[in-house]
A and B are shown apart, each in its own frame.
Chain A
Amino acid sequence: MTSAQNRKIRESVEAYFYLLPAMTILTIFWFLPIIVSLAMSFGNITALKPLEEMRFVGLQQYRDALANPAFRQTLWNTINYVIYSVPPTLILALSAAMLLNSQIKGRGFFRTVYFLPYVTTWVAIAIVFKYLFHREYGLGNWLLGVLTVDILGSDHALRLDWLSEPRGIWEMAIIQPLFGDRVSPMWFGFENLLRGPSLSLFCIVITSVWRDIGYFMVIFLAGLQNIDRSLYEAASIDGANGWQKFRTITFPLLSPVTFFLLVISMIGAFKVFVPQFMMTPTGGPDNTTTPIVMYLYEQGFTGEWKLSFAASVAYILTLIILFLTLVQNQLFGKRVEYGQ
């Protein structure tokens, strides 16, 4: 054996020593569980059943989950949460970042203030917002009262049920005031879509947007500061206005950052658990807030402890996330290159 080969082997052995502690933990608690979980999702394991009754049931758990109205509802709730929380967060964060990037004083102060919600814990924030949205004691209804008292009179001040309101936001804001209940046969099969998320879920969306703006703003701000200022100067000389500069310089050059944030925020939103669990522990009115992960927890770790079923739910979530990553890569992958 040559000495070069010898050295290579020695280096490999040394590397394995460095890897050993991390890999031991990762293998036991990360790599293996991913496979075990997949295997379990094809069985019928529950924590209460004796081992002898366990058998391979193929895709039965997946079929059960997808056919289950409760699971479909949680899937729909989660999709609503993603659709209504991700775009507003990104748009508001980008706007805030652009305002902060315009050479104003006190930038550090605003950045700290906007970022503060993100470092505080979700559990505590959820409790605070539960108070703000409380029907009797919350500031939400107080503000509504103040805004509407001149129009409606003090006896008819508008009050909302916020976290216990099952009606959809579009249903409340547009459909019912315009059409009353007559419209119900005219949903054209898009009933859920037209109604929008329940007000209850929307309160949770507001809370998430409030919390996450600072995080995305900080990343956008870093992205904006990477853009060469001379590009804007050149555009100004050519007579471009603010919107043209945004459309032709800022947006394309920022697209890698935007793309990255879109992916991670959607993935994060699909895995949401704490705000719903804290603000609506019973799943909200008519079960309109329960997200997938909360359903997984309820099915797998309470009641009948249906472990296999919960594993199949977890894998459905995984598939959604992988699918999203792929679709976004396909759709935006090429446009992102353009910036570089």
Chain B
Amino acid sequence: MMLTLSTAAAGTGGGNLLLQAATAIFLLINIGALVVMILSATSIVQAPALKRSLHVQGRAAKHFLIYEVMIIGAIVMLMPFYWMLVTAFKDGQTSSASPPVWTPSRMKTLAPSPETGTMVPVVTLGTRTDTESLVRVVPEEAFTFQRVEEGGVSLTREVPDLERVFMADPSTFEIRSSIDVDLKNFRRAWYRPEASSRGQVSFLNYFMVSIVTSSLSTAGALLTSALAAFAFARLIFVGKTVLFYVILATMMVPGQVLLIPNFLILSKLGWLDTYLALVVPWLASVFTIFLMRQFFMTIPEDLWDAARIDGASRFRFLWQIVVPLSKPVFITAGIFDFLNNWNSLLWPLIVTSTPSMRTLMVGLQNLNDDAGTEFHILMAASCFAILPVVIVFFFLQRFFIEGIARTGLK
């Protein structure tokens, strides 16, 4: 991994001595850390004083290497997200540029000055065409001078007779692709003017369908599963074992088996292409019943005895004691159910056909087919498909991770 990185660094640097020196130092540090770690783990060194200091340094070296690997891993995990976000702000030309443009140029307000080589603010003088901006790299003094002269406060400033100034002295200008700070890509991906002529709808519609169906089916599944799980965990009834085994067996059968009969059932009911088709089959979840039953069984029997003495019915016990106590499992199960519905592609693809009944995922899939290599549009659309889930994740992170750890460990 380190070798690859150093080659990459050397490759981009070409003849850059500084970069090569940095690579060499990086490699040396790593080799040194590895050697120290190995020496401290084995018993090659026998001198007691040296051994003791090696013990301390070995720990430090180990931590250094761990951090290094974890940070490289973190970069690999985050890079696609960064690339998605940054491309969503580019135009078509920049998104297909080679070598890749790592930061949209308007975000980058500093550039090396042609005269002194130091980093100076870049002034965008205006938009030349739809896809290009004229940018002038100005030394700091000139920039200050301009600010005083024009009384402007912002870095960006429109020059009315830009074309004339450009023609007079083109060499002081740099032509750059203009960057959509005004979210043009997002607007294009959202409304898709070219698609609406073919009877397709905007992402607002896809979003509404996804939000409504996912919320309804999650709420329904939580309700029905809580009731069923309560019966399995707390009540004794005829056929309990058989029914429970049936449920466990159902969990082993892949959902794809259900596609065909369910499609036929829904078409017989006349529910195809309606909200009902997207919601009703998901109003109960075998997995959620199982998860909740496991949790309900850990609630002590004494609580029920106490509630019964106070004259509470079983339903009231469930509603006022079990449910509040089980908040974590409700949130975890709710997250799973919601994500399952939100992310599902095959089911909405099969049971809906008119664009206004399509979910966000199907909308995104259609866009993927339509937009071809217009990656800046596709990335903008991916952004707003990912964003809500990521926001929810950051708020409910604890429940995500604890829930997964719990279901994983059983």
Contact = CB atoms under 8 A, between A and B. Distances in A.
B401 A119 contact: no
Interface stretch (B45-53, B178-186, B231-239, B323-331): B231-239
A132 B379 CA distance: 11
Contacts of A25: 224, 280-281, 283-284
A128 B84 contact: yes
Contacts of B382: 124-125, 127-128
A160 interface: no
A271 B261 contact: no
B54 to A, nearest CB: 15
B77 A317 contact: no
Given A29-B258, A29-B265, A120-B389, A322 B252 contact: yes
Contacts of A301: 259, 263, 349-350
A139 B230 CA distance: 52
B42, B230, B255, B257, most chain A CB atoms within 10 A? B257
B385 interface: yes
A32 B386 CA distance: 35
Interface string A17-52: 011011111101111111011001000000000000
B6 to A, nearest CB: 11
Contact of A297 (B346, B361, B378, B409): B346
A71 interface: no
B25 interface: no
B410 interface: yes
Contacts of B145: none
Interface stretch (A162-170, A174-182, A189-197, A308-316): A308-316
B284 A116 contact: no
A96 interface: yes
Interface stretch (A80-88, A145-153, A227-235): A145-153
B227 A314 contact: no
A138 to B, nearest CB: 9
A16 interface: yes
A12 B240 CA distance: 9
Given A18-B227, A26-B286, A121 B8 contact: no
A186 interface: no
A274 B280 CA distance: 23
Nearest to B42: A241
Contacts of B237: 11-12, 15-16
A157 to B, nearest CB: 10
A110 interface: yes
Contacts of A139: 83, 100
A26 B250 contact: yes
Contacts of A311: 257, 260
Contacts of B378: 127, 131
Contacts of A277: 345, 365
B196 interface: no
Given A137-B373, A314-B256, A113 B235 contact: no
Interface in B317-364: 339, 342-343, 345-346, 349-350, 361, 364
A33 B281 CA distance: 11
Given A33-B261, A261-B408, 16 more contacts: A15-B235, A16-B237, A22-B284, A25-B280, A34-B250, A116-B393, A123-B385, A124-B364, A127-B381, A128-B81, A128-B83, A137-B96, A297-B259, A300-B259, A307-B264, A314-B259
6 contacts: A26-B247, A29-B280, A33-B265, A99-B70, A119-B339, A223-B409
